[in-house]
Structure 1
Amino acid sequence: MLSPQPPVVAVTAYDDRGSPLSTWPGSIPAVRQLLDRGLRLDPGITFLVGENGSGKSTILEGIALAYGMSPEGGSTSARHGTRPTESPLSDWLRMQRGVGASRWGFFLRAETMHSFYTYLEANPSSGPEPRFHEMSHGESFLAILETRFDSPAFYCLDEPEAALSFTSTLALIAKLRRIADEGGQILCATHSPVLAAIPGAAILEVGSWGMRRSSWEDLELVHHWKSYLDSPKRYLRHLLD
Structure 2
Amino acid sequence: MIEQQYINYFEIVKGHITDASVYPFCIPAIQRLKKVILHPKVTFIIGENGSGKSTLLEALAVQYGFNAEGGSRDFSFATKKTHSSLTDVLRIGRGGIKPRDGFFLRAESFYNAASYVDDLETEKPGLLRHYGNKSLHHQSHGESFFSLFMHRFHGQGLYILDEPEAALSPQRQLSFLVRMHELVQAKSQLVIATHAPIILAYPHAKIIELTSSGPKVVSFAETDHYAVYKTFLNNPEQMMAALGILKN
What TM-score do you get using the length of structure 2 for normalisation? 0.90
Is 2:22 the partner of 1:23?
yes
2:136 maps to 132
Residues 100 and 126 of structure 1, relative CA distance in 2, 3 Å threshold: farther
Residues 153 and 16 of structure 1, relative CA distance in 2, 3 Å threshold: same
Q: Bigger CA drift: 52-61 or 9-18?
A: 9-18
2:131 maps to none
Is 2:199 the partner of 1:187?
no
The SS at the match of 2:99 is coil
1:148, CA displacement in angstroms? 1.8
Quick check: 1:49–1:205 contact (8 Å CA) kept in 2? yes
Quick check: 2:102–2:153 contact (8 Å CA) kept in 1? no
The SS at the match of 1:206 is strand
The one of 76, 79, 98 equivalent to 2:76 is 79
For residues 101 and 85 of structure 2, the distance between their equivalents in structure 1, rounded to whole angstroms, comes to: 22
1:201 maps to 205
What TM-score do you get using the length of structure 1 for normalisation? 0.92
1:23, CA displacement in angstroms? 2.0
1:117, CA displacement in angstroms? 0.8
1:112, CA displacement in angstroms? 0.9
1:221 maps to 225
1:80, CA displacement in angstroms? 1.0
Quick check: 1:50–1:221 contact (8 Å CA) kept in 2? no
2:98 maps to 101
Q: Cα deviation per residue 1:112-132 (whole Å; 9 max; x = unaligned)?
A: 111111100101366241221
1:13 maps to 12
Q: Bigger CA drift: 208-217 or 121-130?
A: 121-130
For residues 72 and 232 of structure 1, the distance between their equivalents in structure 2, rounded to whole angstroms, comes to: 38
1:16, CA displacement in angstroms? 4.1
The SS at the match of 1:204 is strand
For residues 239 and 47 of structure 1, the distance between their equivalents in structure 2, rounded to whole angstroms, comes to: 33
Residues 12 and 225 of structure 1, relative CA distance in 2, 3 Å threshold: same
1:123 maps to 120
Q: Bigger CA drift: 2-11 or 155-164?
A: 2-11
Quick check: 2:173–2:199 contact (8 Å CA) kept in 1? yes
The SS at the match of 1:74 is coil
Quick check: 2:4–2:96 contact (8 Å CA) kept in 1? yes
Count of aligned pairs between the two proteins: 238
Residues 27 and 3 of structure 1, relative CA distance in 2, 3 Å threshold: closer
Q: Bigger CA drift: 190-199 or 231-240?
A: 231-240
The SS at the match of 1:240 is coil
Structure 2 residue identity aligned to 1:25? P
Structure 1 residue identity aligned to 2:238? R
The SS at the match of 2:58 is helix
1:230 maps to 234
The SS at the match of 2:11 is strand
For residues 210 and 234 of structure 1, the distance between their equivalents in structure 2, rounded to whole angstroms, comes to: 33
Quick check: 1:132–1:140 contact (8 Å CA) kept in 2? yes
For residues 146 and 126 of structure 1, the distance between their equivalents in structure 2, rounded to whole angstroms, comes to: 20
The percentage of counterpart residues that share the same residue type is 35
Quick check: 1:76–1:104 contact (8 Å CA) kept in 2? no
Quick check: 1:109–1:159 contact (8 Å CA) kept in 2? yes
Structure 1: which 5+ residue stretches go unaligned?
A: none
